[in-house]
């Protein structure tokens, strides 16, 4: 698998060299992208020697013979790689990723990248525990990014607490876990029925149930790798509200035929049958 490794500007940048070695041992092809701050701690030549590939250090090439391909290199790198790993991910990078700021090669490439993302934060304990950083992490988690939480211990600044970059072995395991996720439904259109139905007995009465629809909303959110927190459908999901299972052309079977859905999932109690004959008790006025 082709992996692009983003190296942020932190003292833990030197550990990324060991991470590169572990990823290459697993058979991956690794390309390194370094921020300006990362180059203050580790030279690009180190990663070039380990990967045997060019290390990207700037958004625009300083070569006088630059071509169009070098001007849009961040797009090419984003399209050529299957997984993005950022280690160490500084508080600055987390904030830029969360808010969509693009001012260097790494942050610009992040916006153009459509594959899975693994982030390994590393920073001072107070910076890690700050409400702004935690809010940014929550935003990135909701996007489906895998966060490798930092370890607790002695930091370079002398403090003791959370914020130390996770061991390269743990980051490599997180990469393996992300790669191992099944993606067999990519490109498929899925039809999901959720919530209660109301099967009419007559113009006044109906048979229903107390289904909340939560299971139906969890399914697409789990598919989108977003943690369900409310009974609402995520983006890119079309919601059609119908009371009865036999509501005109929006029955599950008809919907599948009209939109070419290959998968029809019914996680909750949508009535598949409606009564063909209604029994009326002897005391009912309608029998008189």
What contacts 143, CB < 8 A, 6 or more positions away? 117, 226
What CATH architecture applies to the domain 2-180? 3-Layer(aba) Sandwich (3.40)
Indicate the DSSP class of residue 285.
Answer: G
| Confidence at 206, pLDDT banded by 50, 70, 90 | confident
Q: By the 8 A CB rule, do 17 and 44 touch?
A: no
Q: What is the pTM of this model?
A: 0.62
DSSP string for residues in 14-46: GHHHHHHHHHHHTT-EEEEEE-TTGGGTS-HHH
Domain limits, the chain? 2-180, 190-265
Coil, helix or strand at residue 205: coil
Res 4 pLDDT > 60: yes
Token pair recorded at residue 284: 């009912």
In this structure, the strands spanning 83-89 and 117-121 are parallel
Q: By the 8 A CB rule, do 120 and 85 touch?
A: yes
Res 182 pLDDT > 90: no
| Confidence at 230, pLDDT banded by 50, 70, 90 | very low
In this structure, the strands spanning 190-192 and 199-200 are unpaired
Neighbours of 96 (CB within 10 A): 20
Point out the residues that are catalytic.
Answer: 157
Q: By the 8 A CB rule, do 4 and 20 touch?
A: no
């Amino acid at each position: 698998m082709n992996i692009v490794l983003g190296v942020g500007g932190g003292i833990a940048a030197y550990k990324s060299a060991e991470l590169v070695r572990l990823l290459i041992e697993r058979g991956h092809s690794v390309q390194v992208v370094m921020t300006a701050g990362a180059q203050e701690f580790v030279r690009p030549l180190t990663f070039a020697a380990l990967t045997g590939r060019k290390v990207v250090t700037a958004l625009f090439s300083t070569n006088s013979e630059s071509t169009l391909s070098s001007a849009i290199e961040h797009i090419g790198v984003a399209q050529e790689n299957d997984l993005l790993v950022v280690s160490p991910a500084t508080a600055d990078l987390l904030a830029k990723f969360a808010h969509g700021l693009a001012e260097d090669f790494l942050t610009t490439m992040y916006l153009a990248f459509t594959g899975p993302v693994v982030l390994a934060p590393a920073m001072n304990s107070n910076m890690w525990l700050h409400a702004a950083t935690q809010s940014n992490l929550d935003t990135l988690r909701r996007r489906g990014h895998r966060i490798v939480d930092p370890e607790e211990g002695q930091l370079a600044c002398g403090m003791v607490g959370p914020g130390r970059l996770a061991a390269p072995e743990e980051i490599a395991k997180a990469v393996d876990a992300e790669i191992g996720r099944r993606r067999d439904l990519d490109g498929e259109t899925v039809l999901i029925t959720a919530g209660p139905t109301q099967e009419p007995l007559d113009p006044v009465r109906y048979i229903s149930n107390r289904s909340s629809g939560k299971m139906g909303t969890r399914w697409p959110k789990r598919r989108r790798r977003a943690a369900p927190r409310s009974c609402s459908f995520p983006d890119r999901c079309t919601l059609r509200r119908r009371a009865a299972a036999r509501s005109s052309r929006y029955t599950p079977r008809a919907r599948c035929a009209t939109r070419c859905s290959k998968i029809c999932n019914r996680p909750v109690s949508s009535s598949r049958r409606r009564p063909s004959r209604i029994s009326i008790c002897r005391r009912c006025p309608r029998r008189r």
